[in-house]
Amino acid sequence: MLIKRSLKSEYFADLKCLCVSLTIKSECMSENRICKLFGIKYPVVQGGMVWCSGWRLASAVSNCGGLGLIGAGSMHPDVFEEHIRKAKLATNNPFGVNIPLFYPEIERLIDIIIKENIKIVFTSAGSPKKLTSLLHDQGILVAHVVSSAAFAAKSEEAGVDAIVAEGFEAGGHNGREETTTLTLIPSVCMATALPLIAAGGIATGNAMLATMILGADGVQIGSRFAISNESSAHENFKNYVVNSKEGDTLLSIKSLMPVRLLRNEFFDLIRNAENNCASKDELQNLLGKGRAKKGMFEGELDEGELEIGQVASLIDKVLPVSEIMEDILKEYHTALKILQNKSLYQFDNE
Amino acid sequence: MLIKRSLKSEYFADLKCLCVSLTIKSECMSENRICKLFGIKYPVVQGGMVWCSGWRLASAVSNCGGLGLIGAGSMHPDVFEEHIRKAKLATNNPFGVNIPLFYPEIERLIDIIIKENIKIVFTSAGSPKKLTSLLHDQGILVAHVVSSAAFAAKSEEAGVDAIVAEGFEAGGHNGREETTTLTLIPSVCMATALPLIAAGGIATGNAMLATMILGADGVQIGSRFAISNESSAHENFKNYVVNSKEGDTLLSIKSLMPVRLLRNEFFDLIRNAENNCASKDELQNLLGKGRAKKGMFEGELDEGELEIGQVASLIDKVLPVSEIMEDILKEYHTALKILQNKSLYQFDNE
């Protein structure tokens, strides 16, 4: 009774496979809605992440049959353009970009996206209402990232082509409702019939299958790819994540803008200030500017802001993207096979 | 590489099926470890919850093939004894009790458990070290509730027979690490090989299957059963939960003891005090005594403390336990069947 659209095979009949409009080398063999929509082999999207997801990471993921995204959030427009050009040279498969809607020069990003003939845009942190029709007019697919069912419904009204529903366990900026992926995905399934990508807390093939059972068509994976060889994050940051343990990330700076951070000196500084009822201005001053760059890109582990998901504690090695993708898909298919063991998983005496 | 014990068929060979020692009418047909351990038909445990889980709820769940638990946390010892006696009359199937280890007169509870020949005890909120051997000497099975992999490992050292790993989304008292079920279950799987029950955020058969894919052998469901006909919670509370929406619960009172509460006047009172840096003493005074009883048992929705999980927003009706169990198992088996659709869920070209 609860999940009105739990595993939505009934929607496939209606699906217009938009990937035919893309000028891509499609390996879209599956009936899976995310594979069909983006013309990719596996429903695995690499999250756009500040200071991690440049052309090298995005093209590596796309070359492995997933969907790589160049994260514009930490790039000046000219750098963004350069990354798009390099990604085009590095892969013939579909890739996309992620743009946070609060980006100050967003018009310049849009111009570049159109000029460079990018056909997949993920938007986040804002309302996709205005931008979606503009991008659609250019034949661009739009997926929007939300942290609540209410915003999923609004995004559908705005006309987006797919939803990314990102739970509390995700790294970086996050919703105020603190809804975890396990609760969020069924809620979003009730709010919208759009193709749905689960995000937050997914670093393994088992978690991928688990969220698809909850109703997602595919997954967005951030942290695991942030700690790959191809991620542009600093080696210090990658090693610090590898050595982190459970409980080492917490949702922080809630009075300004909730963001999941890894514990370090900066984290404690903010936390102590919050515990002492610092004002928003005081927090903003402590935060300053360029903290994420300092921590994640320049590797200053004490002073920098270290954004990563709760799954950081599960990541125990820096690996090439090809190995990560292989691991995830192997785990996924193994889990799928094990479920066929009737004596363990079937209780209905059939 | 991440999940060292993701779906643990390899452990079944070693499992000593302890349920043979129980004087129960076993319907234990499955090879599932939780079913075998407790001698039950379905690996569904009803969480012990203050003011909700008396003999009526526990026996109803056990009669449906799950494992009902009488929650001692909100009972005086004599009331607890009465509930055990009534449950014995109401079901011939195995049922158990849940005792929070900070209970002030815990020795009296233990005496009653032994005298009444209870063979399944779930412990929570403390270290199970001392109590486990005492209970084992009486032939009693012990499952311990944890919110971290570190405590799961300690519980295994203490000799418990099963672990309940409860994520951030769970109602009531909760861990400080804020680890969600999606992240917690794989971590606990790496820390212990014991039979594992996932809890927190599970109200549907899809969520049940999802957590089992993450490595759990079974699930503990609280909130969904708290809002059943047989729950002893007040009708006002049940209806308030049914009408709640996403974002209406938050982990609160973190400086004293983190507890997930449903928004109401009392919630706002505490929240405002915390935002104004109230001291622990001030918070303790605001909290006072008997708030949970007032809210959940007496139905005073403004003044009372309303403990419920994040899945509250998914619960849309008060139903009898038999319908809830039927729904969950139907959803579970439907999800299991849909996964056999190769064109949607299989990407390895086999």
φ, ψ (nearest 5 deg) of residue B7: -135, 110
Last residue of a domain, one of A232, A260, A293: A232
**pLDDT tens digits, A265-292:** 999 999 999 989 899 999 999 999 999 9
Q: Is the pLDDT at B252 greater than 70, yes or no?
A: yes
pLDDT given at position A340: 85
Backbone angles phi, psi at B83, to 5 degrees: -65, -40
**Are B166 and B260 contained in the same domain?**
no
**Which of A232, A261, A290 delimits the end of a domain?**
A232
Residue B46's SS3 state is strand
Q: What is the pLDDT of residues B178-191, one digit of tens each?
A: 999 999 999 999 99
Position B29 scores a pLDDT of 64
Say what the pLDDT of residue B349 is: 65
Structure-derived torsion over alpha carbons of residues A149, A151, A157, A160, reported in degrees to the nearest 10: -100
First to last CA, chain A: 22
Q: Look at residue B18 and tell me if it is in a domain.
A: no
Q: In the β-sheet with A249-252, what is the strand arrangement from edge to edge?
A: A172-173, A259-262, A249-252
| pLDDT score of B9 | 37
Same domain for B255 and B153, yes or no, is: no
Domain membership of residue A181 (yes or no) is yes
A180 to B182: CB separation less than 8 angstroms, yes or no: yes
For residue B297, pLDDT over 60 is answered with yes
- Residues B75, B152: one domain? yes
> Cα–Cα distance between A136 and A140 in angstroms, integer?
5
Name the domain boundary from A177, A208, A232. Answer: A232
Query: Does B203 share its domain with B76?
Result: yes
Same domain flag for B38 and B112:
yes
How many whole angstroms separate alpha carbon A261 and alpha carbon A281? 20
Q: Does B260 touch chain A (CB under 8 A)?
A: no
Q: Residue B146 falls within a domain, yes or no?
A: yes
Q: Nearest-5° angle of CA A217, CA A223, CA A225?
A: 80
Contact assignment for B176 to A310 by CB distance below 8 Å: no
Instruction: Confirm or reject contact between A202 and chain B (CB < 8 A).
Output: yes
- pLDDT of B173 strictly over 70: yes
Establish if B10 touches chain A: CB-CB under 8 angstroms: no
Residues 139-198 of B with CB under 8 A from A: 148-150, 167-169, 176-183, 186-187
Which residue among B2, B310, B341 places its CB closest to the CB of A179? B310
Mutate to test the interface with A, among B1, B223, B249 (most CBs of A within 10 A): B1
A199 with A253, same domain: the answer is no
Q: Regarding beta strands A249-252 and A259-262, do their DSSP bridges make them parallel or antiparallel, or are they unpaired? A: antiparallel
Q: Do A199 and A119 reside in the same domain of the chain?
A: yes
Q: Is B27 helix (H, G, I), strand (E, B) or coil?
A: coil
What is the model's pLDDT at position A17?
Answer: 31
Spell B247-279 as b/e; 16+ CB within 10 A means b.
bbbbbbbeeeebbbbbbbebbeebeebbeeebe
> Other CB atoms closer than 10 Å to residue B128's CB: what's the count?
25
- Per DSSP, the residues of A155-202 read HHHTT-SEEEEE-TTSSEE--SS---HHHHHHHHHHH--S-EEEESS-
Do residue B338 and residue A209 have CB atoms under 8 angstroms apart? Answer: no
Domain contains A185: yes
Does residue B265 share a domain with residue B177? no
Q: What is the pLDDT of residue A30?
A: 80
pLDDT given for residue B27 in this prediction: 53
In this structure, is residue B175 part of a structural domain? Answer: yes
Q: Which residues of chain A have pLDDT under 50?
A: 1-26
Residue B218's CATH number: 3.20.20.70
Residue B348 domain flag? no
Please give the tally of structural domains in chain A.
Answer: 2
Strand A44-46, strand A218-221: pairing? parallel
Q: Is residue A14 part of a domain?
A: no
- B281 CB-near residues (< 8 Å, 6+ apart): none
| Rg of the Cα atoms in chain B | 19
A298 plus A173 within the same structural domain: no
Q: Which two tokens stand for residue B339?
A: 């996964």
Mutate: best of A1, A41, A228, A333, partner B, most B CBs <10 A: A1
Q: A108: which 2 tokens?
A: 């310049």
A155 burial via Cβ count (<10 Å: 0-12, 13-18, 19+): buried
* pLDDT at A350 (0 to 100): 52
Return the structure tokens found at A67. Answer: 């969907």
Asked if the C-beta of A317 comes within 8 angstroms of chain B's C-beta atoms, the answer is: yes
pLDDT digits (tens, 9 = 90+) for A225-252: 999 999 999 999 999 999 999 999 999 9
State the complex-level ipTM.
0.92
CB B82 within 8 A of CB B89: no
Q: Residue B346: inside a domain, yes or no?
A: no
Residue B107 shares a structural domain with residue B215: yes
pLDDT per residue as tens digits for the range B16-33: 233 333 334 445 568 999
DSSP of A83-131 = HHHHHHHH-SS-EEEEEETT-TTHHHHHHHHHHTT--EEEEESS--HHH
Query: Exposed/middle/buried for B51, CB within 10 Å: 0-12, 13-18, 19+?
Result: buried
Q: What DSSP letter does each residue of A228-265 carry, written as one string?
A: BTT--S-HHHHHHHHT--TT-EEEE-TTT--EEEE-SH
- A220 touching chain B per CB within 8 A: no
Domain of residue B249 covers 243-311
Which tens digits make up the pLDDT trace of B258-268?
Answer: 999 999 999 99
Q: CB of A146 within 8 A of CB of A164?
A: yes
Pair (B56, B187) in one structural domain: yes
Q: Are residue B215 and residue B290 in the same domain, yes or no?
A: no
Q: Which of A40, A181, A214, A246 to mutate to test the interface with B (most CBs of B within 10 A)?
A: A246
Interface contact A336-B331, CB threshold 8 A: no
